[in-house]
Amino acid sequence: MFTPEDPTGLSSTAGQLVILLGLLAFLAVLIRSWWQQRNR
């Protein structure tokens, strides 16, 4: 599973999925805080 070029295993599907979910969660929080600032 872990290749010498990729010790973290982030090139695997599971790793990419985790990164994608993390980015989506980060974007959701960012947009929500921006929306609350806007509505003030």
- 3-state percent breakdown (helix, strand, coil) of the chain, nearest 5: 70, 5, 30
Query: Which residues are 6's β-sheet partners?
Result: 3
Using one digit for the tens of pLDDT, what is the confidence trace for 1-30?
556 676 666 677 888 888 999 999 999 999
Is pLDDT at 36 greater than 90 in this prediction?
Answer: yes
Residue 13: predicted pLDDT: 84
φ/ψ (deg, to 5) at 22: -65, -45
The H or E element spanning position 4 is: none
Domain extents in the chain: 8-40
**Residues 10 and 19: beta-carbon distance below 8 Å:** yes
Residue 34: predicted pLDDT: 96
Q: What is the C-alpha R_g of the chain?
A: 16
Who wins on pLDDT, 10 or 31? 31
Residue 10: predicted pLDDT: 66
